[in-house]
């Protein structure tokens, strides 16, 4: 059967988090609630950034981009999942599956790159405060975000094109709640050696580089914080990057649990662990940043105060 036979696969079946009928309504309520909170929280972050000139700094520019990417990430996965539960259907078209796969990989990788860039931003702010605005000028900030977008989109394009060359025979059930590339490739009756090699090589490369950058940045920050003589100074410096550490730890924990669950080949464990870093973390990010960040809370107070004054 040649590669052209993928045209005979009009659709896939997403098995979801659970196949039991009694679990569908609770899952619908849970993920609908998560999606609403995620949209509301991340839109608020973007609106606050755009409305308050005090937040027009590199740190909040990157945070605004992260909120946008988180919003796109959950919108790639959750609406289709909710629609399938509502219609009691597991079907996703071949084109829809490829589209979902493409954008999930793009936004997922972009999340990692933005966290790395944000870690570098805090490293410069704490370790080179006098040169901060010289190093992190608007041109450099825009370039870092542009490079992150380009690498993420090119990576997704490569993987998606490699999937289009595969043939799919009789088994079209994806053991996941969205079209995750590893699960889809396993369904192919073609030779997937090239796909597997490129997937694991690029995943290792693009996983190690951001992780190395994050560890280096926070390692240097820790050494700099230890050299600050006053306790108050240490607390103030740590508070500027505490929210970033919280987000990185959530992503790291979720991704680690996902890798461990994937090794057990358990549908439920793998899907739940995947939901942790692809759905739950984007919901938590706005709360982590707003609760731990004095600047954002002050900006929200100023916006609310202006709204009261105008009325």
More confident residue, 52 or 174: 174
Give the whole-angstrom CA distance, residue 28 versus residue 80: 11
Q: Beta strands 11-14 and 173-174: pairing type?
A: parallel
The structure's pTM equals: 0.86
pLDDT above 90 (res 138): yes
Q: Which of 4-8, 91-95, 164-168 has the lowest mean pLDDT?
A: 4-8
- Nearest in space to 279 (alpha carbons), one of 13, 80, 65, 76: 76
Q: Which two tokens stand for residue 11?
A: 């659709």
What pLDDT sits at residue 2? 43
The tally of domains found in the chain comes to 1
What pLDDT sits at residue 127? 86
Q: pLDDT tens digits, residue range 142-159?
A: 999 999 999 999 999 999
pLDDT above 80 (res 176): yes
Q: pLDDT tens digits, residue range 244-277?
A: 666 666 565 555 544 554 455 556 666 777 777 7
CA 280 → CA 32, 34, 104, 247, 286, distances in Å? 12, 7, 15, 11, 11
Q: Are 74 and 282 in contact (CB under 8 A)?
A: yes
Using a pLDDT cut of 90, give the percent of the chain over it: 31
Tokens 């190690």 -> residue = 208
CA-based angle 125:54:301, to the nearest 5? Answer: 120
What DSSP character marks residue 188? Answer: B
Give the whole-angstrom CA distance, residue 285 versus residue 180: 23
E-strand stretches of 58-129: 91-93
Give the whole-angstrom CA distance, residue 210 versus residue 22: 41
Give the whole-angstrom CA distance, residue 3 versus residue 19: 31
Write the CATH number for 271: 1.20.1070.10
Ramachandran category for residue 13: left, alpha or beta (phi over 0 → left; psi -120 to 50 → alpha): beta
What pLDDT sits at residue 69? 94
- Nearest in space to 183 (alpha carbons), one of 199, 206, 207, 165: 199
Q: 64 is in which domain, residue-wise?
A: 3-310
What pLDDT sits at residue 244? 64
Three-state secondary structure call for residue 214: helix
More confident residue, 191 or 268: 191
Q: pLDDT tens digits, residue range 203-222?
A: 888 878 888 888 888 888 87
Tokens 């439920």 -> residue = 268
């Amino acid at each position: 059967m040649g590669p052209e036979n993928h045209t005979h696969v009009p659709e896939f079946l997403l098995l979801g988090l659970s196949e039991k009928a009694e679990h569908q309504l609770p899952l619908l309520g849970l993920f609908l609630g998560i999606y609403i909170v995620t949209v509301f929280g991340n839109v608020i972050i973007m609106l606050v950034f755009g409305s308050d000139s005090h937040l027009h700094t590199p740190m909040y520019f990157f945070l605004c981009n992260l909120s946008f990417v988180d919003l796109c990430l959950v919108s790639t996965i959750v609406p289709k999942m909710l629609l399938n539960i509502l219609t009691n259907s597991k079907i996703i078209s071949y084109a829809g599956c490829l589209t979902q796969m493409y954008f999930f990989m793009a936004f997922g990788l972009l999340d990692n790159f933005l966290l790395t860039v944000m870690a570098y931003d805090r490293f410069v702010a704490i370790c080179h405060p006098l040169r901060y605005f010289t190093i992190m000028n608007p041109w450099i900030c825009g370039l870092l975000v542009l490079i992150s977008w380009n690498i993420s989109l090119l990576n997704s394009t490569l993987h998606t094109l490699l999937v289009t060359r595969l043939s799919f025979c009789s088994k079209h059930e994806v053991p996941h709640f969205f079209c995750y590339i590893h699960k889809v490739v396993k369904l192919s009756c073609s030779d997937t050696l090239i796909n597997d090699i490129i997937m694991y090589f690029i995943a290792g490369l693009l996983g190690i580089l951001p992780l190395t950058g994050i560890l280096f940045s926070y390692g240097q920050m820790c050494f700099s914080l230890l050299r600050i003589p006053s306790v108050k100074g240490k607390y103030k410096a740590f508070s500027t990057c505490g929210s970033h550490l919280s987000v990185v730890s959530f992503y790291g924990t979720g991704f680690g649990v996902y890798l461990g669950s994937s090794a057990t080949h358990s549908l439920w464990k793998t899907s739940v662990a995947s939901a942790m870093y692809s759905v739950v973390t984007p919901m938590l990010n706005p709360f982590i940043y707003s609760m731990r960040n004095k600047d954002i809370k002050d900006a929200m107070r100023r916006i609310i105060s202006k709204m009261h004054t105008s009325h």
